Amino acid sequence: NFFFFFVSLIILEAFYRMEDLKYLYFVIFFMIYMLVLFANVTVIIVVISNKVLHKPMHIFLCNLAVNGIYGSTALLPPLLATLMSPPHEVSLACCQAQTYFLHTYAIIEFTILSVMCYDRYVAICYPLQYHTIMTITKVYKLIAFSWGYPLVAFALFFILSLRLTHCRNIIGRVYCSNYSLVKLSCDDTNVVSAIGLLSVVVYTFPQLVMTFYSYVHILKICFTATKDSKIKALKTCTPHLFAILNYSVGCFFEIVQSRFDTSYLPFETQIFMSLYFLIFPPILNPAIYGLSVQALRGNIFRLCGSKNKLLPLK
């Protein structure tokens, strides 16, 4: 326990392999952060500024954009600062804070996507009762669940990780994660690891049930619906399916990167895999929904193409 007091700094070892091209990496990550901010802030402004877009689907999309900014800000500014400041160290407290922010970002992302799936289920399966079911009160409750559940649920588990002492201080990545911190511990981590696996079920089970239930019923409706109804349902669900696929690919990369030895892969590939779920959903979600949702697309074009105030959708 005495050695624990000396482990006040965490070295992010991957940055040493980026030294030769650190200015190029800085420009790339800085431009990515600016793109994330621009895309998601644009969506937020468009939704807030136009009362026509004050509908459940657009409100949930606005929250997805806020979460994209939340996760990207937890990742990219610290990454840029550490990249340009040898010896590429961060304090243990900052590392733990980043771990909490990034993990809650990931859970919130999945939760909002599952809530959006439920919204599509109601819109397709109960079109006449949609406004009766998806009241503003219910929308607020779903939003509160999307943010409150991940923030509280992960905090309860993360307290266990915070109590671990650390005998090592080198993480072979460009950001901190809970699994990386646990591996630095000199304590017996079997209990924490077991609870960690159980917590994954707790974090994802309600969302998986909601997503599976919604799409099973949507498919049932599609099998018996007319051709026009099927096309409409497909257009309604396609953006959401792309968003879920994009998020799932990132989670798959993260699992492979964290749990298996990927040292045989090129360094750039390892960086890409580790950052995918933190960078690409915040970039692609505004593009996916902004281009595919007609009401949103029209207002984004108005906002970007006009110096005047945002015009209402007719």
pLDDT per residue as tens digits for the range 83-132: 998 888 899 899 999 999 999 999 999 999 999 999 989 988 888 899 99
Residue identified by tokens 């289920």 is 121
Which CATH code fits 2-305?
A: 1.20.1070.10
Q: Which amino acid is at 204?
A: T
Encode the chain (314 residues) as per-residue pLDDT tens digits: 444 445 678 899 899 989 889 999 999 999 999 999 999 998 898 888 888 888 898 899 999 999 999 999 999 999 999 999 888 889 989 999 999 999 999 999 999 999 999 998 998 888 889 999 999 999 999 999 999 999 998 998 888 888 888 888 888 889 998 888 888 888 777 777 777 778 878 888 888 888 888 888 888 887 777 777 777 777 778 888 888 888 888 888 887 887 777 778 888 888 888 899 899 999 998 888 776 666 666 666 666 665 444 444 43
What is the spatial distance between Cα 28 and Cα 238, in angstroms, rounded to a whole number?
Answer: 30
Distance, CA of 96 to CA of 9 (rounded, Å): 11
- What phi and psi values does residue 170 have, to the nearest 5 degrees? -115, 120
Q: Alpha-carbon Rg of the chain, whole angstroms?
A: 21
- Beta bridge partners, 11, equal 89, 170
- Give the predicted TM-score (pTM) of the model: 0.87
Closest CA to 68 of 21, 38, 36: 36
pLDDT at site 59: 92
Q: Do 114 and 211 meet the contact criterion of CB atoms below 8 Å apart? A: yes
Are 158 and 178 spatial neighbours (Cβ–Cβ below 8 Å)?
yes
88: left (phi over 0), alpha (psi -120 to 50) or beta: left
- 172 backbone dihedrals φ, ψ, rounded to 5°: -85, 35
Using CA atoms, how far residue 303 sits from 24, 31, 47, 61, 274, in Å, is 32, 22, 11, 17, 34
Ramachandran region of residue 261, left (φ > 0), alpha (ψ -120 to 50) or beta?
Answer: beta
**Which tokens go with 87?**
């010896």
